[in-house]
């Protein structure tokens, strides 16, 4: 494991730490932009109340709920659908090195069917209790390159915490983009946040 990373068990052993869980929900798609540019995958992020991009999820209290139950509860609040999350969806756990090392950030990823992702987008805007409050809207990550930008422009926005790095890690980890395409997008993105 890379430095700073904790196993799920090590992270839970830190009893005076706070915990937050977030998840990348995604699917494959055959759809094309303008009928010609393959979209390939729909990856859901959100515009948060503070104007930063992040993943759905939030604070979990392990003395009251498991990490995965707490993440599902946060998803119900933020996207309005029950999405079961299991230990198999766990990607990594790290202390928040920037602001508070006693906050442990747990990250998950779950591949879904396209129809389920579309259902989440519909309910996020209509039934989620946090919509218009903590969550300003769900957004998709453009993985392609267009004349004006695409992924490089998306990566130039401001992200909460390590969300940008979590996105980049998962793109490579799950083979959602080629390393060359990602390197190119990074080389022309204006990274004000890591």
Q: What CA–CA distance (Å, rounded) separates 127 from 88?
A: 28
DSSP 97: T
At its nearest, how many Å lie between Mn ion and the CB of residue 53?
A: 12
Closer CB to ligand GTP, 99 or 180, in the complex: 99
Going from the C-alpha of 46 to that of each of 117, 120, 141, the distances in angstroms are 13, 12, 10
Residue 129 half-sphere exposure toward CB, CA atoms < 13 A: 6
At its nearest, how many Å lie between ligand GTP and the CB of residue 30?
A: 28
Q: Tell me: does residue 142 bind ligand GTP (CB under 6 A).
A: no
- Contacting range for ligand GTP; rule: CB under 6 A; set: 4-12, 31-39, 63-71, 154-162: 154-162
20 touches which of Mn ion, ligand GTP, none (CB within 5 to 8 A by kind)?
ligand GTP
Please give the structure tokens belonging to residue 39.
């979209």
Q: Which residues pair with 150 in a beta bridge?
A: 145
Q: Tell me: does residue 105 bind ligand GTP (CB under 6 A).
A: yes
Q: Tell me: does residue 134 bind ligand GTP (CB under 6 A).
A: yes
110 touches which of ligand GTP, Mn ion, none (CB within 5 to 8 A by kind)?
none
């Amino acid at each position: 494991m890379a430095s700073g990373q904790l196993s799920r068990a090590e992270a839970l052993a830190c009893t005076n730490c706070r915990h937050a869980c977030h998840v990348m929900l995604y699917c494959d798609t055959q759809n094309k932009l303008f009928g010609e540019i393959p979209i390939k995958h729909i990856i859901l992020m959100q515009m948060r109340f503070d104007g930063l991009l992040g993943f759905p999820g939030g604070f979990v209290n392990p003395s009251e709920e498991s990490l995965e139950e707490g993440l599902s509860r946060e998803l119900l609040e933020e996207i309005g659908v029950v999405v079961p999350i299991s230990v198999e969806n766990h990607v990594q756990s790290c202390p928040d090195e920037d602001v508070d090392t006693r906050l442990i950030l747990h990250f998950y990823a779950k591949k879904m069917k396209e129809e389920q992702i579309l259902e989440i987008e519909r309910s996020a805007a209509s039934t989620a209790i946090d919509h218009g409050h903590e969550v300003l809207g769900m957004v998709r990550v453009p993985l392609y390159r267009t004349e004006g930008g695409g992924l490089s422009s998306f990566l130039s926005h401001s992200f909460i915490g390590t969300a940008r790095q979590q996105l980049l890690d998962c793109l490579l980890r799950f083979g959602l983009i080629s390393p060359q395409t990602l390197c190119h997008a990074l080389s022309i993105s204006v990274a004000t946040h890591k």
